[in-house]
Amino acid sequence: MSSVQVGAWSMLGTAAAASLMSRIGADWVVLDSQHGLYDDAGVIAAVPAAASVPVHVRVSANTPALIGRALDAGAAGVIVPMVQDAAEAVAAAAACRYAPEGIRSWGPLAAYRGESTVPPAEANARVSCAVMVETPTAVADVEAIAAAPGVDIVFVGPFDLSIALGVEVADLLADRTPGNPLDRIVAACRAAGTVAGAFAGGRDAADALLSRGFTWIAVAVDTQLITAAGTALVADTRGA
Ligand code: 3PY
Ligand code: MG
């Protein structure tokens, strides 16, 4: 995947929100179960509602149970937060795939809503495993993380990374010192043939990430869109 993909991010935890976010022209939508409002039932309801584009679930932790559950619901892939090293990346990738490539357990949940089941080998080939690099520990091992078998996307969390580094997000995104973490992550992905992704959450951050070579960018977040557009519209109307 060399071309740029621009994604939508849903926090709101409902099928309606997921459906709306799937129809804004984005290449994919993420349902956020780590910091958003998607619980297990919410994911099961929202995945088919947003299925006009690939639906990825950010699970709340790197466990086979959570990853398998999201994939059983029909997600195209998962985004696994706070992966610290290559061993954790390998574990996430294994949880995404059935034997012999992994340890995923068979549970054809989509069949209950009338969808045909995907044979294990085909599911293994189709699934997308994104691991989040968002700590200095992970950056220190990013070459091995990006090269870990079954890792399709290295996805940067700039907020957690900037907190851990003790810098502002904007400063991290603007950092051009040689060997800075973002350039190191992109270089590791290029060397491994893995997609370099990142959460942006807005146009300026997206531009900064695109200019550095990231190609899989989450830019449109439902909660932020409502707040920004609603606030501007109300203020504009009052001022008119
Ligand atoms: C981060 O920036 O840390 C994220 O996880 C974005 O959601
Ligand atoms: Mg984070």
Q: What is the DSSP string of 65-79?
A: HHHHHHHHTT-SEEE
Radius of gyration (Cα) for the chain, nearest Å? Answer: 18
Of 58, 83, 132, best ligand 1 pocket probe by most atoms within 8 Å of the beta carbon: 132
Written as six digits, the tokens of 112 are 């209950």
- pLDDT interval class at 109 (50, 70, 90): confident
Residue identifier of the C-alpha nearest atom 5 of ligand 1: 157
35 assigned to active site: yes
Of 35, 133, 199, 223, best ligand 1 pocket probe by most atoms within 8 Å of the beta carbon: 199
Residue 1's pLDDT is 44
Q: Indicate whether 112 pLDDT > 90.
A: no
How far apart CA 236 and CA 240 sit, in angstroms, is: 6
CA of 228 to the centre of ligand 1 (A): 19
Instruction: Tell me the helices (H) and strands (E) count for the chain, helix number first.
Output: 12, 8
Omega cis (within 30) before 100: yes
Residue 89's pLDDT is 99
- pLDDT interval class at 115 (50, 70, 90): confident
CA of 209 to the centre of ligand 2 (A): 16
Which atom of ligand 1 lies at the shortest distance from residue 199's CA? 6
**Burial class of residue 193 (count of CB atoms within 10 Å of its CB; 0-12, 13-18, 19+):** exposed
pLDDT tens per residue, range 23-66: 999 999 999 999 999 999 999 999 999 999 999 999 999 999 99
- State how far the alpha carbon of 207 is from the alpha carbons of 39, 174, 213, in Å: 31, 11, 10
Q: Indicate whether 103 pLDDT > 80.
A: yes
Name every protein residue with a CB atom under 6 angstroms from any ligand 1 atom.
134, 157-160, 199
Residue 200's pLDDT is 98
Query: Which domains are seen in the chain, by residue range?
Result: 5-239 (3.20.20.60)
- ipTM greater than 0.85, yes or no? yes
Residue 202's pLDDT is 96
Residue identifier of the C-alpha nearest atom 4 of ligand 1: 157
Residue whose token pair is 């190609």? 215
Residue identifier of the C-alpha nearest atom 1 of ligand 1: 157
Q: Indicate whether 2 pLDDT > 60.
A: no
- pLDDT interval class at 108 (50, 70, 90): confident
Could you give the count of Cα atoms lying within 13 Å of 216 in the half-sphere of its Cβ?
23
List Cβ neighbours of 197 (8 Å cut-off, separation of 6 or more): 130, 153, 154, 155, 156, 214, 215, 216, 217, 218
Choice between 113 and 49, residue whose per-residue pLDDT is larger: 49
